[in-house]
Amino acid sequence: MDVALDLLRTLNLGFGALALGAAVYEAALILPTVRSLAAVDGYALLRTLKLHPARPAYRYLPLSGIASGIAAGVIVVLWNEQPQNAALLTAVGLVLFLGAAAMNVAYWSLGAKRLYEPAAAPDDEVLRRLAARNLWRAALYAAGFVVFALAAAVD
């Protein structure tokens, strides 16, 4: 394996780990806490935490997933001499990460951003959908990361 491929695998796994860690943190800690509160208090907590895509600290989740996906895409397209199993696993991981990215877009475009509008009325159903979508997103990131790690192991 050459140095460029090693670097791409490192970027793929490193940024993938960041994306996975952030999604799991949100799914396992933040959203269960929010949902355990009354809707008014859950909204207040989300606003206090400032978990909004316009905030710099919150942008790294999708950007990390995108960076990992780009590295995986370059690996699949440019390295024909890698074992076929590694290429196939990398492509599968890329599809899973693209699914997680699509969940991110759907998450915000389907109304979660209204949680952060000053006049948003607390709504338990919105919080329930937010938690469910985030759980699916975390599962896609987890599956993709496991597949990326398997690809690196067989490469």
Mean pLDDT of residues grouped by 10 in the chain (155 residues)? 86 93 85 84 76 58 86 88 84 93 72 62 75 86 95 90
Cβ(12)–Cβ(65) below 8 Å: no
Whether residue 147 contacts residue 9, with contact meaning beta carbons closer than 8 Å, is answered with no
| pTM of structure | 0.82
CB neighbours (10 Å) of residue 33? 13
Question: Is 3-154 in CATH node 1.10.30?
Answer: no
Residue type, position 38, single letter:
A
Closest alpha carbon to 96 in 40, 150, 153, 38: 150
Return the pLDDT at 43: 77
The whole-number pLDDT of residue 124 equals: 77
Strands (E) across 29-135 are located at none
